[in-house]
Amino acid sequence: MRTPALASLLLIATAATAACGGKPTESLPDAAYDCATETRADPFSVGLTKVGTQGVVTFKLMSSTPAPPARGDNTWQIDLVDGNGAPIAGAKVAVTPFMPDHNHGTSIKAQVTETSGGHYEVAPVNLWMPGLWQVTVTATPVGGTLDKAMFSFCIGS
């Protein structure tokens, strides 16, 4: 009696793992995800602003290609400013996409390039499957303190 129950449990666990498994670049079936009911996502707008958790850096999402962020690879421009509104040049910046409902991110690392003083291009921001994505941006100004903010977007099917 225990063997069939154990086999069924293993089959369910394997299917659940496979749903979020695979590589982000593989073609995945579209899962239904209704963003109209998602209350945790930020409404996308040019200049969407988040003050860092330490209050040191203000993060501004100035653009997303595509806009709003969509399934697949996205390119973002993020501006960093200090408490006085002055651009923060030369900061060490990292961007990490994560799906809290699935407890995983992406294996594709976002590359950050400073394009000019305080303006940073991030690509690819890989949002490879439908659902809620929380994208954490960390920034450490030269000689300063690490600060971070989170942008949350619902990616529909």
CATH of the domain at 74: 2.60.40.1080
End-to-end CA gap in the chain: 40
Model confidence band, residue 14 (pLDDT cutoffs 50, 70, 90):
very low
Residue 16 lies in a domain: no
Domain count, the chain: 1
Model confidence band, residue 157 (pLDDT cutoffs 50, 70, 90):
confident
Instruction: Read off the pLDDT of residues 140-154 as tens digits, 9 standing for 90 and up.
Output: 999 999 999 999 999
Domain range for 79 is 33-155
pLDDT at 17: 41
* φ, ψ dihedrals at 6, nearest 5°: -65, -40
Inter-residue contact 95 to 87 (CB < 8 Å):
no
Cβ neighbours around 31 below 10 Å, total: 10
Residue 15 lies in a domain: no
